[in-house]
Structure 1
Amino acid sequence: MSDASVEVSVVLPAYNEEDTIRETVETTLATLDGFLPAGSFEVVVAEDGCDDRTPEIADELAAADSRVRHFHSDERLGRGGALDFAFERAAGDVLVYFDTDLATDMRHLEELVESVRSGEYDVATGSRWMPENVADRPAKRGVPSRGFNFATRLLLGSDLRDHQCGFKAFSREAFDALHGEVEDKHWFWDTEMLVRAQRRGFRVKEFAVDWTPKGDSKVDLVRDVFGMGSQILRCFWEFRVSPYANRRTGMAVGVLLSVLAFALMFVYIDVDTFVESVSDADPALVAAGAAVYVASWPLRGLRYRDILAELGYDGSVGFLTGAVFISQTGNLVIPARAGDAIRAYIVKARRGVPYTTGFASLAVERVFDLLTITVLAGSVLVGLALFAPGTLADLATTASGVGVAGNAAAVQQAVVVATAVGLLAIGSVALIVWSARSDSNYVRRVVNWASDDSYTEYVASVFEDFVTDVQRVAGTAGGFARVGGTSVLVWTIDVATALLVFRAFGLSLPLVDLVAVGFFAVSVGNLSKVIPGPPGGIGIYEAAFAAIVSTLLPVTFATAVGIAIVDHIVKNVVTVAGGAASMIRLNVSLTEAVDGTVEPDAEEETAVSSSR
């Protein structure tokens, strides 16, 4: 058959389809023969690195019928990669594909092909979710599918109801214009093609099809969450954020972030209570506490520099202190410390640090923070058990909510969370150190156990890079000592700030008592606010802090709440002020950060390429 006579190329993406591929090819040929002129079509088996008899069967079919072609790949390309490869080499001007399990009724093939072949549409796709013909899908796949399609419409601006139905056709012109822009090579490939086609103004037809579920119907965490979900977010950034993200808008966002961070302090804490608390405190000592707290920030920058140095990257203490300020300001607005992600893009834009390494460095910092305050709190508990055993019973009573009036639930929650997070921190460090000394690749084992999908390699490599970076810092004696030592200094200054606030409220108790209680209250308060909740842990921190102070010191719970509020507000005000100043000094274009188009900033310092 001459390539010049071929109008329609039907591609069948095949991975280990030895049981069905022969019947699928024969059914496809018979269906096409029913409405297309002889010699005007071809069927291409895009065999994607199979390890069964699919390649041999495809060769047999191609040898027996000139209308059948077989494209082989030694390695898995992913469904999208296989389609891309086959479409580029196919002879037709109308490019069609459908899943080899023939879940879509083949009586719809003529409408699919003719919609594009007639020139009326550039792209056509079958749909299982049209109002007039809803497919009968198992809930375990139907619910995720509806969720995926809703997210695609909401975040990517698509007008289609079903992006995943494996039943699509493209004109050669549309394919050539679009496929070079599509980054995904796996299951998201066709969704991205459809979304980009709409954005480019191509005519897209969606029509209802009869569809019967076959084959895999399980929810796959790797494919559905890490694979497909990350691709939606990638496209959302490219389509909806990147075009508008520049230095001017970055500055506006930074100012808004600072204003929100300051305002939220007084959303979760009653303003009248704060004013009353401040009026009872010595303003000079409160200001002194703020000045002391400022001194902890260069140490945070120094610690982060040491973490990045272990990973093969350089950074000045000044620059990294600003980056920490900005991310911590974000944490006051965004719950669950998700504001830390801001720092990852800053160090990528200005220091060329890959996102996996950036997030790994943040994870290391967070683990050391939790480990340090857990050890500090544990040390105080041991001291109390040895020298004041009666206070342990008092703490247990307070932890149950007795004597804390309407704050019982918050105190109970804080104690439970602080205990769980502390144990998790210790366990995490032990696991990191142990795994760093092991030659086994547990990450890939877990991912391969969870899924055999074509996204596995991509997801496994991302997690491997992340885990390896974490191990490099926490798994070496020198790195552990430097980062751990600086963490102790950071939290000692944090406690020193609280001690000055104690003094500001007139507490003239022995210093040793205040130091012990300060370490314990600050540690438990910070452990308790790790869980998702109010931004910055406002409210949760105060409950835990006040419960401990009122139990261990001769002050009322109301006074202890006032101390906790002032202590937390002072620290948050310093954070917001530092964050606002750093945003002005280190203004970073979000577009440049994500696209990686910015070289390391030579004006501030020369970044060292990763030594990995």
Structure 2
Amino acid sequence: MTSRLGSVRFRDHLTRGRLTLVGTALVLAVAGWFIARYLDVGAIVTAAADADPTLLGFALVAYALSWPLRGRRYGDVLAAMGAPLRTGFLTAAVFASQTANLIVPARAGDGVRAYLLKRKRDVSYPTGVASLAVERAFDLVAIATLGALALAALAAGDRSVDTRGGMTPLAAAAGLAVAAVVLAGATVAFARSDRRVGPALRDRTAGTRLAQPVDAAIRFGAAVRVVAVRPRRLGAVFGWSLLVWGIDVATAVLVLAALLGGFDGGVVALPVLLAVCTLAVSAGNLAKVLPLSQGGVGLYEAAFTGLVVGTTAIPVETAIAAAVLDHALKNAVTLAGGAAAAVSLNVSPTLSVDETPPNGGATDDHAESADF
């Protein structure tokens, strides 16, 4: 009995937030040990210090300009769900939620955004949560599409890609891109179909351990369906998603070029630089999906560096410096924008748990979207 009570108490203390913090510490510790043991730390610092400030400035401006586009895309998602709102407010809400995701463990920003929509614009919690599911689905589609296009460009071109370390990073990126495209495409296609599998799946898994994840998957599918059945909205959201992530890639290209002495540095041809950075950003953001560290710190840098080093002749120290600067620049813009959004909305970017809806806003209100 005592051991069982101890086990229960241990699980109660082992929350998602604490696991994320522990994971972050482990990832950073392993990364620090590897860099100190096998790489030239001085070369990494020198590469970052010698970066072209003008190109870094352009990268900063480019990434900042992508945020109003995120707000515009989110507006199209909500409009499809019957809640049209202005881009300015939605840009601030996206900033606030993404800032919370960087600061607070366990993706607390999801609850923050749903809370802001409810408190400021009277949008129900189920609609807010469903809209986030749709946004993530199209993020996945856009990232996978750009990665697949970059792979095709590298495969079709006759420009050399360095393979001294083997093609493992490129093959891994190809596998991730193909899997993501197939999964996202199948989800959208199934959502557009007339089939309804939700009730049957709920009945089969009722009372089992699969009940909760199955219910979450059904809600996700129902949310995607709301946009997928409207061709114009589907095209608009997908187009905005491609533009948002295209700017994300452009930011990485500018950062890497800043460390290489410009676009005419001769280390990598511009078309190859574009393709490789697209793959690196795609792999880095897919790696961030794993809930192993806060804000994907360490995971993004590792995936980005692996792609760059595995497919070009760029030194590993330069690639690490580029990955760290790219991620740091993007996080800095997010934090600055989140602080400004918090002031404009008169809220804290890290709302207390009591202020946000339970379970991220999931309720039993199924009136917001048709079953999947």
TM-score by length of 1: 0.48
Larger mean Cα displacement after TM superposition, 563-572 or 538-547: 538-547
- The within-5 A match list for 1:84-103 is none
Return the alpha-carbon distance in structure 2 between the equivalents of residues 382 and 395 of structure 1: 21
Q: Equivalent residue for 2:179? A: 423
Residue 149 of structure 2 corresponds to 379
Is the aligned partner of 1:346 residue 2:102?
Answer: no
Separation in 2, partners of 1:355, 1:436: 24
Question: In the alignment, which of 120, 132, 136 is matched to residue 362 of structure 1?
Answer: 132
Aligned to 2:235: 481
SS of 2:103 mapped into structure 1: coil
State the distance in 2 between where 1:301 and 1:286 align: 24
Cα deviation for residue 479 of structure 1 reads 1.6
Q: Which amino acid aligns with 1:323?
A: A
Say which of 563, 571, 591 aligns to 2:322: 563
Q: Which whole-Å CA distance do the structure 2 matches of 1:537 and 1:611 have between them?
A: 31
SS class of match (1:332)? helix
Distance 1:433 1:388, change over 3 A: same
Q: What is residue 577 of structure 1 aligned with on the other side?
A: 336
Q: After superposition, what is the alpha-carbon deviation per residue over 1:323-343, rounded to whole angstroms, capped at 9, x for unaligned? A: 111221222234564533322
Which structure: greater helix fraction?
2
What is the one-letter code of the residue matched to 1:478? R
Per the alignment, do residues 152 and 354 of structure 1 end up closer, same or farther by CA in structure 2, a change over 3 Å counting? farther
In the TM superposition, what is the alpha-carbon distance from 1:147 to its structure 2 partner? 8.9
| Distance verdict in 2 for CA 1:549–1:447, change over 3 Å | same
**Residues 357/419 of structure 1: CA separation in 2 closer, same or farther (3 Å cut):** farther
**In 1, Cα distance between equivalents of 2:206 and 2:142:** 36
Question: What do you get for the CA RMSD once the two structures are aligned?
Answer: 3.9
Q: Distance in 1 between matches of 2:107 and 2:175?
A: 19
* Aligned mates of 2:369, 2:203 — CA distance in 1: 29
**Partners of 1:539 and 1:482 in 2: CA distance:** 33
Task: Measure how far apart 1:515 and its partner are.
Answer: 1.7
Identify if the C-alpha distance between structure 1 residues 438 and 395 changes in structure 2 by more than 3 Å, giving closer, same or farther: farther
Q: Quote the Cα distance in structure 2 between the aligned partners of 1:548 and 1:299.
A: 27
Per the alignment, residue 447 of structure 1 pairs with 202
How big is the shift at 1:368?
1.0
Q: How far apart are the structure 2 equivalents of 1:511 and 1:548?
A: 16
1:542 corresponds to which of 288, 292, 301: 301
Contact 1:433–1:475 (8 Å) recurs in 2: no
Alpha carbons of structure 1 residues 592 and 518: separation in structure 2 relative to 1, 3 Å: closer
Q: Unmatched 5+ residue regions in structure 1?
A: 1-128, 132-141, 156-259, 401-411, 596-608
Deviation for aligned residue 1:433 = 2.7
Residue 498 (structure 1) shift = 1.4
Q: CA 1:535–1:327 in 2, change beyond 3 Å: closer, same or farther?
A: same
Alignment deviations for residues 232-257 of structure 1 (CA, whole Å, 9 cap, x no partner): xxxxxxxxxxxxxxxxxxxxxxxxxx
The SS at the match of 1:525 is helix
Residue 108 of structure 1: aligned partner:
none
Distance 1:495 1:484 in 2: 16
Q: Structure 1 vs Structure 2: percent identity of aligned residues?
A: 38
**What TM-score do the two structures reach when normalised by structure 2?**
0.75
CA separation of 1:313 and 1:279: change in aligned 2, threshold 3 A: same
Contact preservation (8 Å) 2:96, 2:113: yes
Please tell me whether the aligned partners of residues 205 and 214 of structure 2 are also in contact (alpha carbons under 8 angstroms): no
Shift of 1:290: 0.6
CA distance in 2, matches of 1:358, 1:461: 17
Q: Supply the distance in 2 between the matched residues of 1:477 and 1:147 (Cα, whole angstroms).
A: 54
Supply the distance in 1 between the matched residues of 2:85 and 2:280 (Cα, whole angstroms). Answer: 33
Note the 1:95-494 alignment, pairs <5 A: 150=9, 275-334=45-104, 337=107, 339-388=109-158, 391=161, 396-399=166-169, 415=172, 419-420=175-176, 423-424=179-180, 426-440=182-196, 442-451=197-206, 467-494=221-248
Residue 387 of structure 1: CA displacement? 2.1
1:569 Cα deviation after fit = 0.9
Q: Contact 2:125–2:357 (CA<8 Å) still a contact in 1?
A: no
Kindly provide the amino acid, as one letter, of the partner of residue 201 in structure 2. V
Query: Are the structure 2 counterparts of residues 147 and 587 from structure 1 closer, same or farther at C-alpha, using a change threshold of 3 Å?
Result: farther
| Cα deviations by residue, 1:24-56 (Å, 9 ceiling, x for unpaired) | xxxxxxxxxxxxxxxxxxxxxxxxxxxxxxxxx
- Using the TM superposition, name which of 567-576 and 428-437 deviates more: 428-437
User: Is this contact kept in 2: 1:325–1:578, CA < 8 A?
Assistant: yes
Q: Distance in 1 between matches of 2:111 and 2:355?
A: 15
Distance 2:194 2:241 in 1: 26
Give yes or no for contact 1:421–1:527 (8 Å, CA) kept in 2.
Answer: no
The 3 A distance-change label for structure 1 pair 467 and 276 is same
Report the CA distance shift for 1:488/1:423 in structure 2 as closer, same or farther (over 3 A): same
Amino acid at match of 1:502: L
1:514 equivalent in alignment to 2:267? no
Unaligned runs of 5+ in 2: 15-20, 36-40, 359-366
**1:489 match: secondary structure:** helix
Contact 1:370 1:422 in 2 (8 A): no
Which structure's residues are more often strand, by fraction?
Answer: 1
How far apart are 1:311 and its partner, in Å? 0.5
